[in-house]
Amino acid sequence: MSVTGGRDYRAIPGPSIMPDRVLRAMHRAAPNIYAGELPGMMPGLVRDLCAVARTQGKVAIYIGNGHAAWEAVLANLCTPGDTVLVPATGRFGLGWAEMARDLGLEALVMDFGRSAPLDPTRLEERLRADKSHKIKAVLVTHVDTSSSVLNDVPAVRAALNAADHPALLVSDNIASLACDRFEMDDWGVDAIVAASQKGLMVPPGMSFVFVGPRAEAARRRVARVSRYWDWTPRITPDVFYQYFCGTAPTHHLYGLRAALDMLMEEGLENVWTRHARLARVIWAACETWADGGALRLNIDDPTHRSTAITALSLPPPEGTRLRDWMEREAGVTLGIGLGMETAEDPEASGAFRIGHMGHMNLHGVMGVLAAMEAGFQALGIAHGRGAIPAAADAWQRSLNAH
Kindly indicate the confidence band of residue 3, based on its pLDDT and cuts at 50, 70 and 90.
Answer: low
Rounded distance between C-alpha atoms, residue 209 and residue 194, angstroms: 7
Q: Is the pLDDT of residue 319 over 70?
A: yes
Q: Is the pLDDT of residue 299 over 90?
A: yes
Q: Is the dihedral of CA 266, 271, 275, 278 positive or negative?
A: negative
Model pLDDT for residues 288-297, shown as the tens digit of each residue: 999 989 999 9
- Tell me the average pLDDT of the chain: 96
**Residues ≥6 apart with Cβ < 8 Å to 285:** 369, 372, 373, 387, 388, 390, 391
- Whether this prediction's pTM lies above 0.85 is answered by yes
Rounded distance between C-alpha atoms, residue 372 and residue 150, angstroms: 24
- What pLDDT, on the 0 to 100 scale, is given for residue 2? 59
Rounded distance between C-alpha atoms, residue 256 and residue 198, angstroms: 12
Rounded distance between C-alpha atoms, residue 160 and residue 178, angstroms: 26
Q: Is the dihedral of CA 284, 290, 296, 300 positive or negative?
A: positive
- What pLDDT, on the 0 to 100 scale, is given for residue 398? 86
Q: Which residues of 337-353 are buried (b: 16+ CB within 10 A; e: fewer)?
A: bbbbeeeebeebbbbbb
